[in-house]
Structure 1
Amino acid sequence: MQLYCSRQHTNNGGNRFCTHCGEPLPLAVGQVVDNRYQIIRHLGQGGFGRTYLAEDISQSHRTCVLKEFAPQVQEHQDLQKAKELFEREANVLKKLQHPQIPRFHASLQVKIGTKDFFFLVQDYVDGDNYYQLLEQRENEGKTFSEEEVITLLQQILPVLAYIHSQDVVHRDISPDNLIWRRSDNLPVLIDFGGVKQLPASQGFWQTKLVGNNTLLGKKGYAPEEQLRQGKAFFSSDLYSLAVTSLVLLTGQEPQKLYDSYQGIWGWGKQIRVSSKLEAVLKKMVAYKPSDRYQRAEQILKDLPSSSAAKSTGNSITTKIKTMVVAPGRQRASAIVSRFQNRTQAIAKPISFPLWIRPFMMSLGGTALVVLTGAGAWGVVNAVIRSVSSITIPSISLPQIPQFPSGKPGSDKGKNPNLQEIISRRQQLEITEGFFIPFVDDLFYTKKPELKGRSLTSKPEDAGLRDEWSGIADDLLNKIEQAKLSTEARQKLGKYSQKDYDTWRRQARSGQLGNYTLEQLNKDTNEKFDRLFPGQERGKLNQKTFGQIWYAIAADRVSKVQSGK
């Protein structure tokens, strides 16, 4: 097993520190911390450390979360400030006792090698965070309804009222820091790594780190006073909660909803909600802290009833799904025309059956060889299958169940004909040079006994042709569910390690802000796993699944860059 540090140096699984730069590496699965907590899997990483799912082997083998303190800083004063933040989190969590906040169990100081490491132990919350839930909705062409968002506000505002009553500001409220708990369907507030206790004399918290403010919070979700000045009020949390609500309602990132040049939100445009909810959210995201609600209880009084909320058309239909609803005859005719030109066939009727066209187009100018010899076809497939593979940086994540989705172009489970598949592929602007070999590879992997044998137009191959169509249809569905941008779909088949190297340089040079390469890997792996749960991420074929991994990563980088 290989492990990667945040700089993507490769290390053996048995190492505790990177052999290239000395950075602490993730704890290995099965390792026991403090003779008590056995690591089950790596859950994620933030600026000050990693989190793990662990088993408490001394107490009925219950699961818990182990949060490791491993800040990526070098200077002594930086390390001291980071440690101060970590210790403050532990002290705050000890005093917070609320059923919708993970219960604090212990703080540990453990010596590993020659270095001391610090850990927090908390309850494990079984469920998906709201960003994952939103992505699942978007795969179905939906977002959260107004009624659902009002219910969320009604359920989480009392939690904020409680922590504010303890003079605590969370400072990092966003969809991925709210977990929908499966056991009782309630939202749980997690990740108190940025929590601050407000000095009674100041009314806000501010710290210094090497001459600069330590700014905590996500861009787009945190208000200006927090991101620019390091100040945090109770109303700062309420602002972040409102932005979270807008993202869940629209399916769009904050940067798409807020015009920073004019300083206005897209009310009535991207954001369409009832007038009552709009009035509440507008006050929550007011630019001046003094113009916002000051207490969570005030919002609860003004919120409209969730049962009275009506649908306001906030469910979205993805651009891709709209495109593939009804492929036009004109496009189909263009496909037929281009096919005839490329094979120098007679200009009148097509001399080859429709099902064979994808196989022929995948071979370009030598398409006729497909019909004349199985041997040549076997050679081509051997070349396709022998394409070099790449190692995609991997982070261990919990398995996320795949949710069912419909198949555009299918009819009650019947596979579509190949003309529909060709039309859909062209509508999605996916090159045939990528798509056809990908489907071929999937088909012959599934049917290894057919390797070296070409399909024919004979009746006895009808079932196989239909199976090939089904595989192609499923692949198109998965690409649609990935919600890739047009640019990313067009580039499928052309991504390479050079793209990843470019993202690495951008991350290191600060062109992606605080977004790290490890976070890019985590976000990409998370989305890829939901689409292809059976694929091993550690080693993906560069010409097939690796291309989709790259495309997801490319879109993520583009989103980060557009949010600057």
Structure 2
Amino acid sequence: MSNSSPLTVGSKLENRYEIVRELGQGGFGRTYLARDINRYQELCVLKEFAPQIKGGKELQKAEELFEREASVLYKLQHSQIPNFREFLRSHLNGKRSLFLVQDYIEGESYAQLLKQRCLSEAEVVELLRQILPVLEYIHSQGVVHRDISPENLMLRSADQMPVLIDFGGVKQAATTAVSKATGQPLVTLLGKEGYAPPEQIRQGKAFPSSDLYALAVTVLVLISGQQPKELYDNSKAVWCWRQHISLSPELGRILDKCLAYRASDRYQSAREVFQLLPTVNNPNPQPIANPNPQPVPASNPNISQIPTLNFVGRRGWKTNVTQVIANVGKTIVKLPGKKLFGVKFLVNSLKVGVVVVVGVGAWNFAQAELLKLPTKLSFPKLPNLPNSATLTKAEIDRQTEIMRRSKALGVRNFYPQVDRLFYAKYPQLKGRALTEKPEDAKYRQRWCDIAEDLLDKLEREKSI
């Protein structure tokens, strides 16, 4: 446990980070959830490094190693890795402490999800498809995670994508410094028992194939619900997972090679594994998280004559959720696959006709799509929107450019991803629709900031 006293709820670090609660503690310090006062109260994570080292020179060396490793992680830019925002030196109760500041990931770890149920083979194959490109990226940057396990894989609530957290390189830097300062070997701290491969546990060495080993163990744990020690025969020094679960020959062969004792006998890159993954159907037969709301049955018989379309702008902005709302003869109609910004279609399916209300900048495109509806439906002139004048040409141009870039990338569900990230960062909005009024201008700008950041990351990943 750290020698420093814990930060209390409501206290502020560097007059910027307000502590919300303590998330956990370990041998080198504590982890806190905090609000970044300088960034619109965004939630972030503070990871403290305060080892029990008495000597000044030893502590300085530990700090240097910690800061060096932090600088490596700071350079990583991937949508499935928390951004490392800042490295801080601070004093708490007269003692020096170092902090890493990183993005807060809203969601649950796969260890928590495993308490609900085991994953199917199809689901773990899908997980591999989503996480192996992340490993390929960090390995291309010369970084090995060193600590892959269900605890360090998060299912992000915002977009249901796996996120890789808690890189073990920082822990290695801390462990090395403490070991040198105290003269005590602490190699066994590098990686979780059962997940870390032999070379990492015994020699403190780690390669890209070391991460693949830990990922394979993670997959077996998620499928079987058993701990690694229950899947490994110590007397024979072999994995005996087939006594507990049955997998397809293709996936079995992949896992066996990832779990080879010698690093040189394993796959040498995440790309190799990705290319060999078997094709599976229906990868999510039992969603881990809560499923999307089911469509509301239409009570108006006339509604059944209107084709179901993907709705863009459920919250007044951009999303293509599947929910259809029918109430007192009114429904929200959806446009399939169209990822538009600021479009909201309200269709009044009365016998006298249909009234359509759309957001600024999207009418021409929306009109073309809506004209694909049955010809018996008529669309009157677009009504005047009293707040439409508050959107400047620059803002509309920015929205248009975001749409162009997302379409050029061919990203599935781009706008829903941005929506989820946006509302996760600004929970105070409680999911309310953004309007075109001046008071929402700052939030519209922040939504565009998030969209552009995501596009930047996706474009970098595509270029690798």
Q: State the alpha-carbon separation in 2 of the partners of residues 310 and 124 from structure 1.
A: 26
TM-score normalised by structure 2 residue count = 0.57
Q: State the alpha-carbon separation in 1 of the partners of residues 78 and 171 from structure 2.
A: 17
Q: What is residue 219 of structure 1 aligned with on the other side? A: 193
Q: What is residue 148 of structure 1 aligned with on the other side? A: 123
Runs of 5+ consecutive residues of structure 2 not aligned to the other structure:
291-464
What secondary structure is seen at the aligned counterpart in 2 of 1:232? coil
Find out whether 1:36 has 2:16 as its counterpart. Answer: yes
Q: State the alpha-carbon separation in 1 of the partners of residues 53 and 113 from structure 2.
A: 33
Deviation per residue, 1:199-240 (Å, 9 max, x gap):
xxxxxx999632636341011000111101111111001100
What does residue range 259-338 of structure 1 map to in structure 2 within 5 Å?
A: 259-307=233-281
Shift of 1:61: 0.9
What does residue range 126-137 of structure 1 map to in structure 2 within 5 Å?
A: 126-137=106-117
Shift of 1:112: 2.3
Q: State the alpha-carbon separation in 1 of the partners of residues 11 and 177 from structure 2.
A: 38
Q: State the alpha-carbon separation in 1 of the partners of residues 227 and 122 from structure 2.
A: 20
- The amino acid that maps onto 1:284 is C
Q: State the alpha-carbon separation in 2 of the partners of residues 106 and 309 from structure 1.
A: 37
Q: State the alpha-carbon separation in 2 of the partners of residues 191 and 310 from structure 1.
A: 26
> Cα gap change, 1:217/1:81 in structure 2, threshold over 3 Å: closer, same or farther?
farther
Find out whether 1:110 has 2:83 as its counterpart. Answer: no
Deviation per residue, 1:492-541 (Å, 9 max, x gap):
xxxxxxxxxxxxxxxxxxxxxxxxxxxxxxxxxxxxxxxxxxxxxxxxxx
What does residue range 49-88 of structure 1 map to in structure 2 within 5 Å?
A: 49-74=29-54, 79-80=59-60, 82-88=62-68
Q: What is residue 202 of structure 2 aligned with on the other side? A: 228
Q: What is residue 105 of structure 2 aligned with on the other side? A: 125
Shift of 1:75: 5.6
Shift of 1:38: 0.2
- The amino acid that maps onto 1:55 is R
Contact 1:168 1:197 in 2 (8 A): no
- The amino acid that maps onto 1:34 is E
Contact 2:4 2:92 in 1 (8 A): no
Q: State the alpha-carbon separation in 2 of the partners of residues 207 and 237 from structure 1.
A: 24
Q: Which of residues 158, 172, 197 is equivalent to 2:133? A: 158
Contact 1:206 1:213 in 2 (8 A): no
Q: Which of residues 232, 240, 248 is equivalent to 2:214? A: 240
Cα RMSD of the aligned pairs, angstroms, is 3.0
Runs of 5+ consecutive residues of structure 1 not aligned to the other structure:
1-5, 7-16, 18-22, 138-142, 199-204, 316-400, 403-564
Shift of 1:40: 0.1
Contact 1:48 1:82 in 2 (8 A): no
> Cα gap change, 1:100/1:37 in structure 2, threshold over 3 Å: closer, same or farther?
same
Contact 2:109 2:151 in 1 (8 A): yes
Contact 1:169 1:196 in 2 (8 A): no
What does residue range 323-362 of structure 1 map to in structure 2 within 5 Å?
A: none
Find out whether 1:188 has 2:189 as its counterpart. Answer: no
Q: State the alpha-carbon separation in 1 of the partners of residues 30 and 112 from structure 2.
A: 19
Contact 1:207 1:214 in 2 (8 A): no
- The amino acid that maps onto 2:140 is S
Deviation per residue, 1:390-442 (Å, 9 max, x gap):
xxxxxxxxxxx99xxxxxxxxxxxxxxxxxxxxxxxxxxxxxxxxxxxxxxxx
What secondary structure is seen at the aligned counterpart in 2 of 1:108? strand
Q: State the alpha-carbon separation in 1 of the partners of residues 231 and 86 from structure 2.
A: 41
Shift of 1:79: 3.7
Q: State the alpha-carbon separation in 2 of the partners of residues 184 and 147 from structure 1.
A: 19
Q: State the alpha-carbon separation in 2 of the partners of residues 72 and 256 from structure 1.
A: 35
Q: State the alpha-carbon separation in 2 of the partners of residues 310 and 57 from structure 1.
A: 39
Contact 1:149 1:249 in 2 (8 A): yes
Q: State the alpha-carbon separation in 2 of the partners of residues 257 and 85 from structure 1.
A: 36
Find out whether 1:167 has 2:142 as its counterpart. Answer: yes
Q: What is residue 48 of structure 1 aligned with on the other side? A: 28
> Cα gap change, 1:56/1:121 in structure 2, threshold over 3 Å: closer, same or farther?
same
Q: What is residue 559 of structure 1 aligned with on the other side? A: none
Q: State the alpha-carbon separation in 1 of the partners of residues 264 and 177 from structure 2.
A: 18
Q: What is residue 5 of structure 2 aligned with on the other side? A: 25
Deviation per residue, 1:337-384 (Å, 9 max, x gap):
xxxxxxxxxxxxxxxxxxxxxxxxxxxxxxxxxxxxxxxxxxxxxxxx
> Cα gap change, 1:213/1:46 in structure 2, threshold over 3 Å: closer, same or farther?
closer
> Cα gap change, 1:234/1:144 in structure 2, threshold over 3 Å: closer, same or farther?
same
Q: Aligned residue pairs: how many?
A: 284
> Cα gap change, 1:289/1:196 in structure 2, threshold over 3 Å: closer, same or farther?
farther
What secondary structure is seen at the aligned counterpart in 1 of 2:115? helix
Identity %: 56
Q: State the alpha-carbon separation in 1 of the partners of residues 49 and 31 from structure 2.
A: 9
Deviation per residue, 1:47-103 (Å, 9 max, x gap):
322111100112211111111112244466764554344213311121101110101
> Cα gap change, 1:136/1:308 in structure 2, threshold over 3 Å: closer, same or farther?
closer
Q: State the alpha-carbon separation in 2 of the partners of residues 197 and 176 from structure 1.
A: 18
Contact 1:85 1:194 in 2 (8 A): no
Contact 1:257 1:271 in 2 (8 A): no
Deviation per residue, 1:525-559 (Å, 9 max, x gap):
xxxxxxxxxxxxxxxxxxxxxxxxxxxxxxxxxxx
- The amino acid that maps onto 2:169 is G
Contact 1:194 1:217 in 2 (8 A): no
